Amino acid sequence: MPKLRIELNGTDVNPYEKLWGLKQNPFPQLGSYETDAAERCLDKLGGPPIPHDRAAEYIRETLTPYFTESFIKYCIANFRPGEVVRLCIEWEE
């Protein structure tokens, strides 16, 4: 079954910039042109720090074009300021 890894960067440091000089994770998870734009939106949440004062709004703006409201609410609920939260979503076909 397909799995999707989500990272929510609640720290003040971009881990990809610090390690490799990149803005976000450059490696696709599903490797399909149909999902590329959505995956880039998810990667944006794990790279540049999510602003703590408007985290819910930022996550919603980033994911709205490609993800359902319930998925967006799940990401918002799991955001933790000062931490990198890693989630793994698995779904059935």
So where are the chain's domains? 3-90
* pLDDT at residue number 54: 97
Alpha helices in 1-93 (DSSP H): 15-20, 36-46, 55-63, 69-78
pLDDT of residue 19: 65
Q: Model-level pTM greater than 0.75?
A: yes
> pLDDT tens-digit profile of 38-87?
888 888 999 899 999 999 999 999 999 899 999 999 999 999 999 999 99
